[in-house]
Structure 1
């Protein structure tokens, strides 16, 4: 399995996880929201919006085009922090799914 295939599989798992905890069906951010200079667009998007419309979308594009992947990826700690008030089970499954994407990208 190529790194791009492994990334697509990890992204599919992340999408399924986000759907299962009702974090996938979120409003699409405005075009201006994508111009944010802040990490994770924290000033213009909620974390589920950023995960869907930035993180997943951009990594899917790279994987589908078999483009070079980022040298590293470390999003799981931010997601875990954002989910600090979520139920422990939701926090665990979402953070683990994002951590798997981080691992695949970093090890590619």
Structure 2
């Protein structure tokens, strides 16, 4: 399986986890100026959910569609852990697992082995 195929699976899992936890539907599209942020995860202009839905997922999908190189590093899951710490376990854990998959695909080029999940 290619890195792009693995990332497609990881992003699909992330979106599904966000939908299941009502984190996808509840995201209001940010004001256009919010996209000008220079902070990691646009923390000064967006919620993590907005950043995932309107920045990360579309940006990575565009890179794949245009067959561009993917970022070589990622550290999304640890940041999400802080943001989601107050969320219900049933919402938090699937999203974090999906983000760990995204991180792993970007860093190592493949999904994590099933026994690690």
Q: One fold, TM greater than 0.5? A: yes
What is the CA–CA distance in structure 1 between the aligned matches of 2:66 and 2:10, rounded to whole Å? 16
After TM superposition, give the deviation of residue 54 of structure 1 in Å: 0.8
Aligned position for 2:76: 75
Which position in structure 2 is the counterpart of 1:10? 10
Contact 2:21–2:90 at 8 Å: present in 1 too? no
RMSD: 0.9
CA distance in 1, matches of 2:56, 2:69: 15
Q: Give 1:106 deviation, angstroms.
A: 0.8
Runs of 4 or more, structure 1, over 2 Å off, are: none
Deviation at 1:89, TM superposition (A): 2.4
Give the deviation of 1:71 after TM superposition.
Answer: 1.1
Q: Write the distance in 1 (CA, Å) between the matches of 2:62 and 2:42.
A: 19
Which residues of structure 1 form unaligned runs of 5+?
none
* TM norm structure 2: 0.88
Unaligned ranges ≥5, structure 2: 110-117
In the TM superposition, residue 31 of structure 1 has moved relative to its aligned partner by 0.9
Distance in 1, Cα, partners of 2:63 & 2:70: 7
Question: How do 1:1-108 and structure 2 match up within 5 A?
Answer: 1-25=1-25, 26-108=27-109
Aligned length: 108
